[in-house]
Amino acid sequence: MSQDTQPDSPLRIAVIGAGPAGFYAADALLKSDAVNATVDLFDQLPTPYGLVRAGVAPDHAKIKSVTRKYDATAQLPGFRFFGNVRLGKDVSVDDLKNHYHQILYTVGAQVDRKLGIPGEDLNGSHSATEFVAWYNGHPDYRDLKFDLSARSVVIVGVGNVAVDVARILCRTTDELRETDIADYALEQLAASNVEDVYMLGRRGPAQAAFTNPEAKELGEMEDADIVVSARDATLDDLSAAALAEHPDRLTEKKVAMIQSFVDKGLTGKRKRLHLRFLVSPTEITSDNGNVAGVDIVHNKLVEDGGRVRPKATDETEHLDCQLVFRSVGYRGLALDGIPFDDWTGTFRNEDGRIMDDQGWRVGEYAAGWIKRGPSGVIGTNKACAQDTVARMIEDAATGKTLQPADSSPEAAEELLRSRVADLFAWSDWEKLDKLETERGASLGRPRLKFTTREEMVEAVLGT
């Protein structure tokens, strides 16, 4: 498996993380007239695209089509891809400093935030991130177990990821079969006993984090009725006043859409999706160590320092369920050798420049969720990456870069091949991509993913 090297460049850059932020940064660097750069894009998986491959819901093929733009970036002169490389295990930050003038971290926010309530660690209580990665065929999550014999499921959160989880649980087998969902997940979801799915939002419909297209889809599922009570859909006085004073067309449309679901009535569909607002879980209850239900408290919204926040009332309720997913935000993970802010779950940085107790660490940068936290959609990472790239170019122009011992492309590749037996180049990904789409085509599906590193290596490298 050979990989063409690029001519020597005054500026050699390592980008760690081949998701949207990594590709947008690589594109901005390689197209810049202000700097002569080459980019080596790394990922811990053999495959590129990050959450576009492993996080975007399988039934959102249009969103996944953004990868065509990333493919175009991969064809630019000066671009190389090194997949199956784990920072902190296969190579260290010091290794990178020996071969690159700048290092950009775009590793995302990989884990869910905890609820911090009793029962959160019971069997049957999971993070939404784990479930999403599982049904998308992420190699590190494919062996997780989810008890889909459950008849009732509670999802804590009303963001887009929570909606994705709810939708996947409510889709029919035929609907899922038209997607690139992992084959093992398709099989287990086809045998699912799930009938009722509850989504819980701690604030009201005006503050629901899901987007309007996501909300619209909830009312259009083939075999799932949506259930919303008038109480849950009615705006509280504080939210109504805020919208009257500061009209927001998108929020108003979202609220109207949610209210249109009220009293639609059951139509005999096999599943029911219940949207609940102004409720918070207080405890996940147990039956011999397994999830048996969720205790919830009803909230009211109050103004606190100019912000609207939920405040618990005396009214409580219990929901019977056998499976719980939390989807209340995400945070990054610390990596050896990189300053980390545990409060925000991000790498310590100032406008994308990595900071430690002594100040700016020359030559190290962050972009994407690991820079700013988990906010925005895929496209939001473009502006974020370009902002950091502007700092990188500014610093390079004034000579504020790392001083690598050997910045030649050949030296970096030699180091990687000495450390990683199954190193993936972009050409290897292209072969894997072709194999997956061919396997899918034979089944009438867009692709059939390889879901273990071993399968990927065997399919492409034959080792």
Closest CA to 326 of 167, 132, 125: 125
Cα–Cα dist 399/156, whole Å: 49
Residue 6 clears pLDDT 50, i.e. is over it: no
pLDDT for residue 13: 98
Residue 165 clears pLDDT 60, i.e. is over it: yes
Both tokens of residue 114? 């905890």
pLDDT for residue 329: 84
137 near 186, Cβ under 8 Å? no
Give Cβ neighbours of residue 454 (< 8 Å, ≥ 6 apart): none
Window from 42-46, 163-167, 371-375 with minimum mean pLDDT: 371-375
pLDDT for residue 308: 87
Give Cβ neighbours of residue 390 (< 8 Å, ≥ 6 apart): none
E strand or H helix at 229: none
Cα–Cα dist 17/21, whole Å: 8
Cα–Cα dist 61/179, whole Å: 8
Residue 337 clears pLDDT 90, i.e. is over it: no
Helices in 75-149 by DSSP H: which ranges?
A: 93-97, 128-135
18 near 46, Cβ under 8 Å? no
Cα–Cα dist 239/91, whole Å: 51
Cross-strand pairs, 156: 200, 326
Per-residue pLDDT averaged across 430-438, rounded? Answer: 96
Cα–Cα dist 4/409, whole Å: 10
Per-residue pLDDT averaged across 29-38, rounded? Answer: 95
Residue 2 clears pLDDT 90, i.e. is over it: no
DSSP, residue by residue, 397-462: HTT-S---S---HHHHHHHHHHH-TT-B-HHHHHHHHHHHHHHHHTTTSS-----SHHHHHHHHT-
Cα–Cα dist 413/407, whole Å: 11
More confident: 363 or 307? 363
124 near 153, Cβ under 8 Å? no
Residue 5 clears pLDDT 90, i.e. is over it: no
Strand pairing class (224-227; 271-276) = parallel
Owner of token pair 């492993």: 54
Residue 3 clears pLDDT 50, i.e. is over it: no
Give Cβ neighbours of residue 414 (< 8 Å, ≥ 6 apart): none
Per-residue pLDDT averaged across 397-422, rounded? Answer: 95
Write out pLDDT tens, residues 49-98.
Answer: 999 999 998 999 888 899 999 999 999 999 999 999 999 999 999 999 99
Closest CA to 456 of 23, 145, 84, 20: 84
Cα–Cα dist 378/117, whole Å: 31
- Amino acid identity, residue 253? K
Residue 242 clears pLDDT 70, i.e. is over it: yes
Q: How confident is the model at residue 257 (pLDDT cuts 50, 70, 90)?
A: very high
Domains and CATH numbers, the chain: 11-110+332-460 (3.40.50.720), 113-329 (3.50.50.60)
More confident: 47 or 335? 47
Per-residue pLDDT averaged across 5-22, rounded? Answer: 80
Q: How confident is the model at residue 111 (pLDDT cuts 50, 70, 90)?
A: confident
pLDDT for residue 331: 85
Residue 415 clears pLDDT 60, i.e. is over it: yes
Closest CA to 103 of 112, 111, 94: 94
Residue 263 clears pLDDT 90, i.e. is over it: no
Q: Cα–Cα–Cα angle for 108, 377, 258, nearest 5°?
A: 130
Write out pLDDT tens, residues 343-381.
Answer: 999 999 999 999 999 999 999 999 999 999 888 888 899
Residue 333 clears pLDDT 80, i.e. is over it: yes
Cα–Cα dist 350/44, whole Å: 26
More confident: 5 or 307? 307
pLDDT for residue 463: 55
Per-residue pLDDT averaged across 164-183, rounded? Answer: 95
Q: Any idea how long the chain is? A: 463
Give Cβ neighbours of residue 51 (< 8 Å, ≥ 6 apart): 19, 20, 108, 378
pLDDT above 90 covers what percent of the chain?
A: 84
Sign of CA dihedral 209, 210, 212, 218: negative
What value does the mean pLDDT of the chain take? 93
Helix, strand, or coil (residue 70): helix
**354 Ramachandran zone, left/alpha/beta (phi>0; psi -120 to 50):** beta
Window from 5-14, 176-185, 237-246, 401-410 with minimum mean pLDDT: 5-14
Q: How confident is the model at residue 7 (pLDDT cuts 50, 70, 90)?
A: very low
pLDDT for residue 452: 96
Write the DSSP symbol of residue 7: P
